[in-house]
């Protein structure tokens, strides 16, 4: 379909068990991604279109991480180009982006714990025990998934414009000021989209928790 997310299972037997389980229990939340399927000897892949976005994108990435937490292999070293720091004292679960870039999965009980335990450069790798993003402070994927709501709500769109006027223009020539501006914009968007964020995360968490309970009995 264009791209894929992959899990390397600990064994072929575990890979087959998970694929069989997902074939019987997995529910899609959209049409831009396929179901989990076998790939090679020990891998599980979800292929998806470049059009994957919104709620479905957050869900698919969470599903991949959940499978990695359940049957995935572990590793302690990653590429410096995408993960920094890239070496961990103990091996951690991981997922693969498009079959070439491996990303660690760092399980934390809360955003507060993640922000205290790991450097900011690794916050995007942090999830809860189900592989679900902890919140919009540590994940840059949550807010963009729901911002369409601003364009369909005139009142909130007006509030957004007012807040952006307060921020002023982005400082493109100063990397530090640019990052600070983008961070403030992210906070504004998260605040205005709070109802949609809560609804989306509740929906995703409910579905993956259902799978998790079924997996415990499998």
The answer to whether residues 164 and 185 belong to one domain is yes
Would the pLDDT of 6 be above 80? yes
Q: Which residues span the domain enclosing 168?
A: 148-192
Residue 117 Ramachandran class (φ > 0 left, ψ -120 to 50 alpha, else beta): alpha
Clarify whether residues 54 and 29 are in a common domain.
yes
The number of folded domains in the chain is 2
Q: Are 72 and 131 found together in one domain?
A: yes
Per-residue pLDDT reduced to its tens digit, 177-187: 999 999 999 99
- Place 149 in a pLDDT band, splitting at 50, 70 and 90: confident
Report the predicted TM-score, pTM, of the whole model to 2 decimal places. Answer: 0.94
Give Cα separations from 134 to 37, 86, 152, 167, 205 (angstroms). 27, 21, 26, 27, 11
Query: Same structural domain for residues 17 and 65?
Result: yes
- Angstrom distance (rounded) from CA 132 to CA 153: 28
Q: What percent of the chain has pLDDT over 90?
A: 89
Residue 202 located in a structural domain: no
- Token code pair at residue 112: 């507060």
DSSP 80-100: TTT-SS-EEEEEEEEEEETTT
Domain boundary (135, 159, 178) is at 135
CA torsion 215-211-83-100 (nearest 10°) is: 80
Residue 42: CB atoms within 10 A of its CB come to 19
């Amino acid at each position: 379909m264009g791209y894929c997310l992959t899990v390397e299972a600990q064994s072929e037997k575990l890979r087959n068990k998970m694929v069989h389980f997902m074939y019987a229990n997995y529910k899609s939340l959209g049409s831009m991604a396929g179901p989990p399927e076998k790939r090679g000897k020990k891998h599980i892949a979800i292929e998806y279109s470049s059009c994957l976005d919104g709620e479905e994108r957050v869900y698919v990435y969470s599903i991949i991480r959940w499978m990695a937490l359940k049957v995935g292999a572990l590793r302690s070293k990653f590429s410096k180009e995408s993960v920094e720091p890239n070496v961990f004292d103990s091996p951690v679960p991981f997922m693969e982006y498009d079959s070439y870039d491996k990303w660690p999965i760092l399980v934390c009980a809360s955003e507060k714990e993640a922000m205290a335990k790991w450097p900011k450069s690794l916050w995007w790798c942090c999830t809860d025990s189900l592989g679900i993003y902890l919140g919009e402070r540590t994940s840059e994927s949550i807010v963009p998934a729901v911002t369409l709501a601003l364009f369909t709500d005139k009142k909130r769109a007006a509030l957004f414009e007012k807040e952006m006027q307060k921020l002023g223009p982005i400082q493109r020539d100063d990397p530090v000021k640019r990052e600070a501006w983008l961070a403030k914009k992210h906070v504004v968007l998260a605040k205005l989209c709070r109802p949609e964020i809560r609804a989306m995360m509740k929906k995703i968490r409910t579905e993956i928790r259902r799978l998790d309970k079924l997996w415990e009995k499998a």
